[in-house]
A and B are shown apart, each in its own frame.
Chain A
Amino acid sequence: MQTADKPYRFPDSRGHFGPYGGVFVAETLIPALDELNAAYEACRNNPAFMAEFEYELKHYVGRPSPIYHAKRMSDSLGGAQIYLKREDLNHTGAHKVNNCIGQALVARYMGKPRVIAETGAGQHGVATATVAARYGMECVVYMGAEDVKRQAANVYRMKLLGAKVVPVESGSRTLKDALNEAMRDWVTNIHNTFYIIGTVAGPHPYPMMVRDFQAVIGAECLVQMPEMTGRQPDYVIACVGGGSNAMGIFYPYIDVPGVRLIGVEAYGEGLDSGRHSASLTGGTPGVLHGNRTYLLQSEDGQIIETHSISAGLDYPGVGPEHAWLKDSDRAEYVGVTDEEALAAFHNLCHLEGIIPALESSHAIAYAAKLAPTLPRDKILLVNLSGRGDKDMHTVAEKSGIQF
């Protein structure tokens, strides 16, 4: 998992990816972040820690996740071959759990008996509640009051796992406000609390730490792709909300020449409609949630409300490393609309017998656009970041069906 001798070496010691990232927090949080930074450095350089992390990924999560050649889908598109990295087969149904295990182990190392998390759709909340149960930790999950209403099943799941779910009534009552509230809890309860952030955002060291824990995805692909196809892919494609599944699969490929990295944002009702979540392709740089990155904001610098059919992509910021990969042209960022994602969702169900998460459907939708423009011997590796069971409700509603 370690990539210390690679030419690409970001972030710097204070968490900067070029002009992005950093530690933009109030003084009250600085010592907590320093403490976390030191603990994470100790953990990642400790072979016993890494061995336990890998053991948990293997026996609890079910790693390595397979790569699957989506042959019928590829044939139906008539171009490049589509391969899916099956993060949907992980325990709890998405890539989120990789990071939660890593951070819970750091929390245990630091002697913190209580973990907190923010969640939008509830996937990261469920993953955090899961590992908290697994390691016997108290767990509090902050969730926007709007999302609590929209994601009742996941709220119940978290409660079954023993977590307390706190609805957040401030601001737009969605994911960004849940993150604010979790930060407030953390600054108040630093002595016994570890904040498990769910994506590659937040102040340093979070973007780096979450990336490192998720990089197992890409590291496995580096081995699996040559085994399956005799070579590395031409394109690696992943959806980008906060950007953790994308960083996880991109990071080990950054120094592999000839592999194009494509992040797919949520264009919602269209980039021109103003109702989207495309921070990188439709936003401007600014400071939010402890780091500098691309944001969806008003002219006055207020954060604006976002929209996506997939709650997991519905976030006005994006991890700072993606901002850097965009500006340095190492990765490209594109978007697909709600409608296109939904079409891809149905296609994958029908052609491959796989029900993808709506988030992941964005990556599949873009692959489906790209494949027919390329020859049949080109290879697209798509991160299927999660399964779609959680989205039954949303998809059914779109088809006019009520449970």
Chain B
Amino acid sequence: MSRIQSVFQSLQASGRRALIPFITAGDPAPELTVPLMHALVEGGADIIELGVPFSDPMADGPTIQRASERALINGMSLRKVLALVSEFRTTNASTPVVLMGYANPIEAMGVERFVAAAGAAGVDGALVVDYPPEECEAFARTLKAGGMDPIFLLAPTSTEQRIREVATIGSGYIYYVSLKGVTGSGALDFNDVAARMPQIRQGVGMPVGVGFGIRDAESARRIGEVADAVVIGSRIIEEIENSPRDQAVARVKNFVEGVRAALDQIQGAPR
């Protein structure tokens, strides 16, 4: 069983939701990434999504774009992200790390080399935003053979057939994008998510995380009522952006703790 699967299994056994925060590796500085990852775990994160910066983050809103730009200015690269994961693993052997990014840095490294290096670094899964299922069968296969989970997105507009495709090729969990648009955009439609979730959870037969537009403890709790996991990205990047350097780690931990507490108020399985 993969590290991701066992995390979900033990959470489900105790009726809890997974909290999956996102940060961009190398933002605000490469030396802060591993401390931030540990702070996320201390604050109550179950899985970490670690952004691999790309020069052209087409699916991201302004906040994650800025994080990506800062990280690239700081010299971040896919190779260096993997080195940071290795460093994190020296003191944390249990929290799954999912890389989230775009196809081109992976293709530049070569899929085989990437999978070998990511496996060795202790990566647990990869979500490649611009790899829809039909374009990445070989990648998903290689990743699985390397013991890692290919994570896929579903959207409010995804068809039944799409849900089935993603269920066949993906593993670990599914990331349901809760609104139209790019990361960090505005209003989240709780009713829409609640209405769609049962069909999607059943259709994919694996845990479903919901992200895009979750900004605080309250919205996290409301989403947690209906989903297996809650993903928070832009709001955490904002916390980092708005903190003096020496306080970023503490403030991120504090923010995550608030969300954790809200999620832990939820009783029972997702509706």
Residues of A within 8 A of B (CB): 14, 22-28, 30-32, 170-172, 176-177, 180, 183-184, 187-188, 190, 284-290, 295, 297-304
Nearest Cβ distance between residue A24 and chain B, in whole angstroms? 4
**Does the CB pair B130–A287 fall under 8 Å?**
yes
- A171-B56, A176-B56 given as contacts; is B103 within 8 A of A287 (CB)? yes
- Interface of chain B residues 150 through 185 with chain A (CB within 8 A): 152-155, 157-159, 162, 177, 180-182, 185
**Does the CB pair B77–A300 fall under 8 Å?**
yes
- Interface of chain B residues 189 through 220 with chain A (CB within 8 A): none
- A30-B132, A31-B158 given as contacts; is B153 within 8 A of A184 (CB)? no
Among candidates A24, A190, A285, A297, residue contacting B131 with C-beta atoms closer than 8 Å = A24
Among candidates A24, A180, A187, A301, residue contacting B135 with C-beta atoms closer than 8 Å = A24
**Does the CB pair B153–A300 fall under 8 Å?**
no
Would you call B83 an interface residue if the criterion is a C-beta within 8 Å of the partner chain's C-beta atoms?
no
- A27-B153, A170-B65, A301-B109 given as contacts; is B55 within 8 A of A188 (CB)? no
Among candidates B130, B153, B154, B185, residue contacting A24 with C-beta atoms closer than 8 Å = B130
Nearest Cβ distance between residue B110 and chain A, in whole angstroms? 10
- Interface of chain B residues 24 through 63 with chain A (CB within 8 A): 54-59, 61-62
Among candidates A14, A284, A303, residue contacting B55 with C-beta atoms closer than 8 Å = A303
Would you call B145 an interface residue if the criterion is a C-beta within 8 Å of the partner chain's C-beta atoms?
no
New contact pairs (16) apart from A25-B58, A301-B108, CB-CB < 8 Å:
A24-B103, A24-B132, A24-B135, A25-B130, A27-B152, A28-B153, A30-B157, A170-B62, A172-B55, A184-B58, A184-B59, A184-B181, A187-B180, A286-B107, A297-B104, A302-B77
Q: Which residues of A contact B153 (CB under 8 A)?
A: 26-28
**Does the CB pair B182–A187 fall under 8 Å?**
yes
Interface centre among A287, A298, A304, by most chain B C-beta atoms within 10 angstroms, is: A287
**Does the CB pair B132–A23 fall under 8 Å?**
yes
A295 to B108, CA, bound (A): 11
Would you call B129 an interface residue if the criterion is a C-beta within 8 Å of the partner chain's C-beta atoms?
yes
- A301-B78, A301-B104 given as contacts; is B152 within 8 A of A28 (CB)? no
Closest 8 CB pairs of A and B: A301-B108, A301-B105, A188-B181, A27-B153, A300-B77, A31-B157, A26-B59, A287-B103
Among candidates A188, A287, A290, residue contacting B107 with C-beta atoms closer than 8 Å = A287
Q: Which residues of A contact B130 (CB under 8 A)?
A: 24-26, 287, 290
Would you call B22 an interface residue if the criterion is a C-beta within 8 Å of the partner chain's C-beta atoms?
no
A23 to B135, CA, bound (A): 7
Nearest Cβ distance between residue A181 and chain B, in whole angstroms? 9
- A188-B181, A287-B103, A287-B130 given as contacts; is B58 within 8 A of A300 (CB)? no
Give the A-B contact count at a CB cut-off of 8 A.
121
Among candidates A23, A26, A298, residue contacting B129 with C-beta atoms closer than 8 Å = A26
A185 to B72, CA, bound (A): 24
Nearest Cβ distance between residue B55 and chain A, in whole angstroms? 4
Nearest Cβ distance between residue B206 and chain A, in whole angstroms? 16
A242 to B185, CA, bound (A): 30
Q: Which residues of A contact B58 (CB under 8 A)?
A: 25-26, 180, 183-184, 289-290
Q: Which residues of B contact A30 (CB under 8 A)?
A: 132, 155, 157-158, 162
A295 to B56, CA, bound (A): 13
**Does the CB pair B134–A297 fall under 8 Å?**
no
Interface centre among B55, B77, B106, B134, by most chain A C-beta atoms within 10 angstroms, is: B55
Residues of B within 8 A of A (CB): 54-59, 61-62, 65, 69, 72, 77-79, 102-109, 129-132, 134-135, 152-155, 157-159, 162, 177, 180-182, 185
Interface centre among B58, B78, B105, B132, by most chain A C-beta atoms within 10 angstroms, is: B58
Q: Which residues of A contact B107 (CB under 8 A)?
A: 285-287, 301
- A180-B58, A300-B79 given as contacts; is B180 within 8 A of A28 (CB)? yes
Nearest Cβ distance between residue B203 and chain A, in whole angstroms? 14
Among candidates B56, B134, B185, residue contacting A180 with C-beta atoms closer than 8 Å = B56
- A287-B102, A289-B56, A301-B107 given as contacts; is B182 within 8 A of A184 (CB)? yes
Q: Which residues of B contact A289 (CB under 8 A)?
A: 56, 58
Q: List 15 A-B contacts (CB under 8 A).
A: A23-B134, A23-B135, A26-B153, A27-B162, A28-B155, A30-B162, A31-B155, A31-B157, A184-B59, A184-B182, A187-B59, A289-B58, A290-B130, A295-B104, A301-B105
Q: Which residues of A contact B69 (CB under 8 A)?
A: 170-171
A365 to B96, CA, bound (A): 57
A109 to B57, CA, bound (A): 31
Nearest Cβ distance between residue A79 and chain B, in whole angstroms? 42
User: Which of chain B's residues has its CB closest to A31's CB?
Assistant: B157
A192 to B181, CA, bound (A): 13
Q: Which residues of B contact A31 (CB under 8 A)?
A: 155, 157-159
Q: Which residues of B contact A184 (CB under 8 A)?
A: 58-59, 61, 181-182
- A22-B135, A170-B65, A187-B182 given as contacts; is B104 within 8 A of A27 (CB)? no
Nearest Cβ distance between residue A30 and chain B, in whole angstroms? 6
Nearest Cβ distance between residue B204 and chain A, in whole angstroms? 13
User: Which of chain A's residues has its CB closest to B79's CB?
Assistant: A300
Q: Which residues of B contact A288 (CB under 8 A)?
A: 56, 104
Nearest Cβ distance between residue B126 and chain A, in whole angstroms? 14
Q: Which residues of B contact A188 (CB under 8 A)?
A: 180-182, 185
**Does the CB pair A300–B108 fall under 8 Å?**
yes
A27 to B133, CA, bound (A): 9
- A287-B107, A300-B78 given as contacts; is B181 within 8 A of A28 (CB)? yes
A178 to B135, CA, bound (A): 25
A300 to B105, CA, bound (A): 6
Q: Which residues of B contact A176 (CB under 8 A)?
A: 56
Q: Which residues of B contact A285 (CB under 8 A)?
A: 107
Q: Which residues of A contact B103 (CB under 8 A)?
A: 24, 286-287
A268 to B57, CA, bound (A): 26
